[in-house]
Structure 1
Amino acid sequence: MILQLKNVSLLFVAQLVSYLIPILEIPILARALGVDEYGHILLIQTSALLCSLVVEYGYSLSGSRQVALCAGEKSLLSKIYNEITSAKIILTTGMVVLSFVVLSVTKVDIKLQAALWGYLYFFAFGFSSIWLFQGLEKITFPVVFEVCLRFVGLLMLFMFISQPEDASKALMIMSSFSVLNTVVGFYLVYRVVGGFSFTIRGGIKQIKDGFHSFLYKSSNNIMMSAGPALVGAMCGQAAVAKFAPAEKIIKASIGLVGPVLIGLYPYLSRKLSQSTPLNLKFSAFIVTGLFFAGVVGGGLIFVLGDYLISLMLGPGFEEAIVILRIFVFVIPFRMMNQAMGLTIFMPLGKDRILSFLLIFFSFFSLLLAALLSYEFDLKGVVYGLVLSEIIFSASLVAFAINIKRVENNAC
């Protein structure tokens, strides 16, 4: 139990830093680069992260589970790692080809040097080995090393980025530290499982077996991460610079509940299998509590919005204040949705229902945001994201009530 608490604490710290660093980057980059160049960098970052979601393929869930169940057998552990890494190579090949097609067809205005650094970002995030160490429950050094690297990278940005012409240099610094973290991860993996061997059959098998985990995680991340890319496509890269800071504040507020819910997931899975109707009340208590916590947190951000944006961005970003004050309404509903997924649907084995709803509402949110942007421009994108989250919440509540009714009848 102590080991689990330690791992949850480390994951919480890693999650906190993963949201804190991008927020600390905002005043450094926005003030130095200006609206256009900062928006250009954000567009490349977002595109790289979205592509890496496909390559990561939810292996932080399915891969770590396989590692945890292999009981430390080195030959089996090596087989799992080789198959999953082979799957990532196959997926990477597809994403690189697709990205070249998209860039050639859409004629997106991205500088070649910046695009190359963006590809490094993509490879670094997609090939992270943290899933292996999560399964082995040996995440102390990888997490601490990543946290230290990210703070060193932030210091480098502060020291060397001072004018709009430094945009490519900023991308180089951020992507280089990400790649370094992934390379060190490869070395740590080598010490655990030995050399790597590519296997097409094993890679395809892992892609098939991990499909539902991919649907769940990627759909959730699309809802969290696709906003800047959509804004860039519909409203231009200058609008991305006004949207992304508000979005990062919202993501940081919501993301802090993730490690807590993941830590409770095994406990609730066990409890719900023993006495479903009784323990569903406990799950409902968690969901309700997080919703009201989101209301309080969103209210504080709404009140402090002017101060936060002015402090981080300075002049030229006034519209970001309005965006943030609309965006805060997503916080309680997103927190409630995450809680329902990890405390009700997944512990009860209803992951297919959850995956379907996530996929549907991921695309629905993007479609609604795109449609509303024609009428309300940048604010329309945010209106669409908030409205779709509220409708998603209502759908999850309806399904959860039906699940509770079925379980009560079964009992």
Structure 2
Amino acid sequence: LIPPLVALVMDWGFPFGAAREAARLRGDREGLARLMGAVFSGRLFLALACVAASLALLPLVPHAREHPAAYGLAVLMGIGRGISPVWFFQGVGQGMRRMAAWDVGSSLGALALTFLCIRRPEAWPLYLLFAALCKGLVYAGLSLGLMRAWGARLSLAAGWRALGRTRTLFAGSVAPVLSTSGGQLVLGYFLTAADMGLLVAVNKIVRALVSLLKPAVQTLFPELCALRGRRSPRTARLLLLFTGASTGCMLLAAALAWLTAPWLIRLALGAGYDEAVPVLRLMLLLAPLLGCDMVLGAQVLVPLGLERAQTLVQWGAALLGLPLAALLGARFGLAGGALLPVAVEALTFLGLTACILRFCPGALIPGARLPARRDISPETPLQR
């Protein structure tokens, strides 16, 4: 739990905010260097904050006092994951093959060291050490290499401003965590531990299915930002095509998973979990909704600087999901728990659609006139 939370803080709003700004600054070497220095400086603040918070929370985190070294390695592992410079390669539209090669190579290196060096159960903290070193050293080396190549310099003032200008995107990334964790906490009052275990496992299966769409979203995002900056008429056509393709793929994937649900459950959970099959089939309604919400938010609203509207929708759906969890859990039991994330994503879809109709109704209409990005959100540009 510690590494993903620390990585979430370290990411802040940079995966989208910094990538969007880098796409806008393509060809401006000096501007990209300033942006790089601002982002790396901002992440230095975040790393120090994570270390300070982890020390303050040490007495409160379960098992941390019994295993302080492992706790520290878990924090270091999260920081290592969170300094990835992938946003820069995505933004400038080059170098992604090199980034992917280093990323996969570091994961394989950590896996190889784990198999070679961990022979006893009590040696499990070594896994955290290997993961922290392999990822952290690779990402740190890539970041330092970029700074030297582009002539970027750290600036604490610019880093602090960058954190302020991407705070809304960070708040948006926290909302799904609240929705998932808070909903499960409320459902725990109405469902048995066995039912909660099934829900958590099936939810992971469905979200793993939807995660197949993320590489395409991350690849297209900076290109859309660059096209938005040039007010290109190709933007709406590309976005409309991608929206239809991604929704169709998610519907097809959900249909295939519905048909093969018994086999998927046996593969993922093992024999004896037949009661999870109807739960999976209900929760598969989540797949096309998540796919649509991912496109409407990341590909329509954020490139236009409307992350504030997206974040308000996400938080509104997450907060409404808490009383909805109590209602569905008390009334429908396990089936209600399966429908909860579907209902939350449906609310998110309705909210995002309303925002698009309100602020940028021509986003999916080729040739329609759209407002300039800086006219909508006062939080951009990321650097001055």
Distance 1:237 1:170 in 2: 27
Going from structure 1 to structure 2, the CA distance change for 1:221 and 1:59 (only over 3 Å counts) comes to: farther
Distance 1:172 1:357 in 2: 41
Q: Aligned match of 1:191 in 133, 141, 145?
A: 145
Output the amino acid matched with 1:83.
Answer: S
Provide the residue aligned with 2:205 in structure 1: 249
Alignment of 1:203-218 (within 5 A): 203-218=159-174
Query: Does structure 2 conserve the Cα–Cα contact (< 8 Å) formed by 1:329 and 1:386?
Result: yes
Going from structure 1 to structure 2, the CA distance change for 1:324 and 1:172 (only over 3 Å counts) comes to: farther
Output the amino acid matched with 2:145.
Answer: R
Distance 2:370 2:96 in 1: 41
Match of 1:312, SS state, is: helix
Bigger shift: residues 190-199 or 347-356: 190-199
Match of 1:256, SS state, is: helix
Structure having the higher helix fraction is 1
Provide the residue aligned with 1:41 in structure 2: none
Going from structure 1 to structure 2, the CA distance change for 1:145 and 1:376 (only over 3 Å counts) comes to: farther
Q: Aligned match of 1:142 in 96, 99, 104?
A: 99
Provide the residue aligned with 1:365 in structure 2: 321
Distance 2:224 2:262 in 1: 40
2:53 matched to 1:89? Answer: no
What RMSD in Å do the two structures reach over aligned CA positions? 4.4
Distance 2:14 2:96 in 1: 16
Provide the residue aligned with 1:79 in structure 2: 37
Match of 1:346, SS state, is: helix
Query: Does structure 2 conserve the Cα–Cα contact (< 8 Å) formed by 1:153 and 1:174?
Result: no
Distance 1:179 1:377 in 2: 44
Going from structure 1 to structure 2, the CA distance change for 1:192 and 1:387 (only over 3 Å counts) comes to: closer
Going from structure 1 to structure 2, the CA distance change for 1:81 and 1:396 (only over 3 Å counts) comes to: closer
Structure 1, unmatched stretches of 5+, are 1-43
Going from structure 1 to structure 2, the CA distance change for 1:350 and 1:127 (only over 3 Å counts) comes to: closer
The percentage of counterpart residues that share the same residue type is 19
Distance 2:213 2:53 in 1: 31
Going from structure 1 to structure 2, the CA distance change for 1:66 and 1:333 (only over 3 Å counts) comes to: closer
Going from structure 1 to structure 2, the CA distance change for 1:226 and 1:81 (only over 3 Å counts) comes to: same
Report deviation, 1:388.
Answer: 1.0
- How many residue pairs match? The answer is 357
Alignment of 1:58-207 (within 5 A): 58-65=13-20, 69=25, 71-73=28-30, 76=34, 79-93=37-51, 95-96=53-54, 99-100=57-58, 103=61, 108=62, 112-113=66-67, 115-135=71-91, 137-151=94-108, 153=110, 166=121, 169=123, 172-173=126-127, 176-193=130-147, 201-207=157-163
Distance 1:369 1:283 in 2: 34
Going from structure 1 to structure 2, the CA distance change for 1:349 and 1:133 (only over 3 Å counts) comes to: closer
Structure 2, unmatched stretches of 5+, are 372-384
Going from structure 1 to structure 2, the CA distance change for 1:314 and 1:233 (only over 3 Å counts) comes to: same
Output the amino acid matched with 2:314.
Answer: L
Output the amino acid matched with 1:176.
Answer: F
